[in-house]
Chains A and B, each alone.
Chain A
Amino acid sequence: MSAFLQIFLGILTAMGGFVEVGELVFSVGAGAKFGYSLLWVVALGTLGIILFGEMAGRVAAVTKQPIFDWVRERAGFRMGLGTLLAANLVSLLTCAAEIGGIAIVLRMMSGWPYRLLAILTFLALLAIVWFFAFKWIERFFGLLGLLMIVFIIAAIRLRPDWHAVAGGFVPNVPAVESSKDYLVYAFFAVSLLSSIMLPYETYFYASGAIEDGWQPHEVPMNRIVVTIGFVLGSVLSVALVLIGAQLLKPLGIDPQWPGAAALGPAFTMGRVGLAVALLGMLFAFGGAAVENALTGAYNTAQFLGWPWGKWRKPAGAPRFALTWIVMLTLAVLIILAGVNPIQVVEYSIVFSVLILPLTYLPLLMAAGDKRLMGAYVNNGPTKIAGWFFLGLVTLAGLFALPLLVVTRGGKL
Chain B
Amino acid sequence: MLNNIMIGQYFPGDSFLHRMDARVKILLLLILLMEVFVFTSAPVYSALIVLTLALILFSGVPLRMVLRSLKPLWWIILFTFVLHLFSHPGKELCRVWQFAITQEGVAQGTLISVRLMLLIVLSTLLTFTTSPLKLTDALESLLSPFKKVGLPAHELAMMMTIALRFIPTLISETDKIMKAQQSRGADFVTGSVLSRLKNMVPILVPLFLSAFRRADDLAMAMEARCYRGGAGRTRMKEMKLARLDYISLVVFAVLSLGLGVGFYR
The answer to whether A binds B is no
